[in-house]
A and B are shown apart, each in its own frame.
Chain A
Amino acid sequence: MVDTNGEVISRGRAKREGMGFTSPDQDRVRTKIQVENLSLFYGNSQALKNVNVSIADREITALIGPSGCGKSSFLRCLNRMNDLIPDTRVEGDIKLDGESIFKKNVDVVALRRRVGMVFQQPNPFPKSIFDNVAYGPRLHRLCSKSELADHVERSLRQAALWDEVKDKLRSSALELSGGQQQRLCIARALAVQPEVLLMDEPCSALDPISTFRIEELMLELKQQYTLVIVTHNMYQASRVAKFTGFFLNGELVEFGLTRDIFERPKDPRTDDYVRGRFG
């Protein structure tokens, strides 16, 4: 190869110019939830040890790790669902949009409206499809009776379920397939117009096709909502999440861009886990 000075140089030296790969690390991300020194105790045993993390606004953050590592417990802290379990204690702080969720005057009901949840096993109420989705709006009186039908339709459309159920809204939700039930639960959660959606292993009870559908749905939803998903399937994390955190024995071992966690993790424990070397 001849360079611009007429000199013979190695091709290896010739820079690739004009093919700028800009690094998305430059993206500025806003923090939606700030977790500071969070520790969780079930009675005397400590489930979470000093977790510090920033959950980015309108992105998908995935939490991976082996069973019993605390990732589900962590998720349940974010909407204070752990309050329902007796004898739990929390230390540290969680801030939603800068405001602590543990302050004395915080209305937990309002918090759970802003931070919704979808569970591992689809759990629609034994009511009609319509009543399931309308449950939240009716509870909080979000809209008038005449607007309710539209509201339910919007939520079902957002959950990519409308076309399949529009002709049988009054039939029982339990007649739907597993994947459909899970999308119904997503629609139900979206109906209260949350800002954050927490998903605890949402696809683990589903077949691969339903799983992919819901992953596609997640990618659509993140344009409007902040998503935090717990998954024991790290390939799911790699497919959908921008940020990934690795939990082990109650500790957040490593957190960062998903592609860094899976391609070049910093902590050897993370490295072992993603490579399937559990020792």
Chain B
Amino acid sequence: MNAKLRERLAFALLALVTVLVIVPVAFVLLILLIRGLPAISWEFLTQEPRSGMTEGGIFPAIVGTFYLVVGTVIVALPLGIGGAVYMTEYARPGKALRLIRLAIVNLAGVPSVVYGLFGLGLFVIFLKFGTSLISGCLTLGVLVVPIVITATEEALRAVPQSFREASASLGASKWQTVSRVVLPTALPGILTGTILAISRAAGETAPILFTCAAFYLSRLPHSIFDPILALPYHLYGLATQATNAPDTIKYGTALVLIALVFGTNITAIVLRLKARRTKRW
């Protein structure tokens, strides 16, 4: 078989593989759209669930998920970015640093239910926060921190050393260099980390199971110490326990969750593209 034929074959195979990857995702989306779209209405999105979730809307769940995501980001971003900055810019290379990095990589692979139990033990029980938004945010924050650290570290490492040298030669201290040159330049990469963190936080079910989510609540949370409804858990509840709820509501909820995640992703990607355009080097 000559080179040209091999080239064509390789191309065809790779295209096929790509299509195969997209097909399941497209399939899922299609089903969700077909079955769930009928449920979507203004009432659905703004009202509370009624009659054992067989009627009404999912407004509280949406709000709860939103609060959860915001809270997680508030917890994870400072910790993650700060940690990454320390490890990249300040820490002396050596065994200790390598161990820390190894630990972070391992943390990223811990199953989420384990995080849930961790959160339960530390925040809910030991610190007596109870089943609450703050427990959920802290737990999810810890879960998501490795993602933020890894993405931020990569972004920081991608900043050319020459920028740091130039800044130092102009008489900047290390912190000034980091804050005025390195972080702004690494922003696209940091945003990537944020995107990933948000996606995880919005879609996790197991951790929120133990720490913050309730099956049914009569009202929206008033403080961070209140429990919340969240879309993933709400979906789980609909699917397993509210068996007499119409299918459209279930698919509708799933659709909203996916839309939320997609929406956040796309927004962040757009922001990232815009940031990248001005900072390309």
Contact = CB atoms under 8 A, between A and B. Distances in A.
Interface string B37-68: 00000000000000000000000000000000
B258 interface: no
B218 interface: no
A34 interface: no
Contacts of B164: 84
B272 to A, nearest CB: 15
B170 A189 contact: yes
A119 B170 CA distance: 12
A113 interface: yes
A125 B181 CA distance: 7
B262 interface: no
Interface in A159-194: 172, 174, 185, 188-189, 192
Given A121-B162, A135-B170, A126 B176 contact: no
A136 B171 contact: yes
A214 to B, nearest CB: 17
B171 A110 contact: yes
A24 to B, nearest CB: 33
Contacts, number: 67
A139 interface: yes
A81 interface: yes
Give the most central of B166, B181, B278: most A CB within 10 Å.
B166
A109 B278 contact: no
A38 B211 CA distance: 64
Contact of A174 (B169, B180, B281): B281
A202 interface: no
B18 interface: no
A119 B180 contact: no
Contact of B169 (A124, A126, A127, A189): A189
B72 interface: no
Given A86-B92, A139-B176, A174-B280, A123 B160 contact: yes
A79 B166 CA distance: 12
A116 interface: yes
B170 A123 contact: no
Contact of A126 (B165, B168, B180, B280): B280
Contact of B168 (A112, A125, A174): A112
B183 to A, nearest CB: 12
B165 A109 contact: no
Given A86-B92, A109-B173, A126-B280, A119 B166 contact: yes
A119 B165 contact: yes
A81 B168 contact: yes
Contacts of B278: 126, 172
A192 B170 contact: yes
Nearest to A175: B280
B171 A113 contact: yes
Contacts of A185: 166
B163 interface: yes
Contacts of A123: 160, 162-163, 165-166
A266 to B, nearest CB: 34
B171 A84 contact: no
Nearest to B278: A172
A140 interface: yes
Contact of A81 (B92, B165, B172, B180): B165
Interface in A176-219: 185, 188-189, 192
B253 interface: no
Contacts of B194: none
A1 B5 CA distance: 93
- Nearest 7 pairs of A and B residues by beta carbon: A117-B169, A123-B162, A113-B171, A112-B171, A126-B279, A136-B170, A126-B281
29 contacts: A79-B169, A81-B169, A86-B92, A86-B93, A109-B172, A110-B171, A112-B170, A112-B171, A116-B169, A116-B170, A117-B169, A119-B162, A119-B166, A119-B169, A123-B162, A123-B163, A125-B167, A126-B163, A126-B279, A126-B280, A127-B184, A135-B167, A136-B171, A139-B176, A140-B171, A172-B278, A174-B280, A188-B166, A188-B170
Interface of A: 79, 81, 84, 86, 109-110, 112-113, 116-117, 119, 121, 123-127, 135-136, 139-140, 172, 174, 185, 188-189, 192
Given A81-B168, A86-B93, A119-B165, 7 more contacts: A86-B92, A112-B171, A123-B165, A123-B166, A124-B166, A125-B166, A125-B167
